Amino acid sequence: MTDGLKDCLAESIVRDFGGFDAFKQQLTQTASTIMGSGWAALVWEPVGGRLLTTQIYDHQSNLSQAGIPLMVLDAWEHAYYLQYENRKADFFQAVWPVWNWRDISTRFEIARKVNITLDGASG
Residues 24, 53 contacting (CB under 8 angstroms)? no
Burial class of 45 by CB neighbour count within 10 A (0 to 12, 13 to 18, 19+): middle
Tell which residue, 94, 121, 114, has the closest CA to residue 28. Answer: 94
Q: Which domain holds residue 76?
A: 7-58+65-111
Q: In what order do the strands lie in the sheet with 68-74?
A: 50-57, 38-45, 68-74
| 100 occurs within a structural domain | yes
In whole angstroms, give the CA distance from residue 9 to residue 34.
Answer: 26
Q: Which residues of the chain have pLDDT under 70?
A: 1-6, 58-65, 76-87, 118, 120-123
Query: Given this model, what pLDDT does residue 33 score?
Result: 82
Query: Given this model, what pLDDT does residue 1 score?
Result: 45
Query: Given this model, what pLDDT does residue 112 score?
Result: 94
How many structural domains is the chain composed of?
1
| 119 occurs within a structural domain | no
Instruction: Please report, for the domain that includes residue 107, its CATH number.
Output: 3.55.40.20
| 1 occurs within a structural domain | no
**CA torsion, ordered 56, 58, 59, 62, to nearest 10 deg:** -80
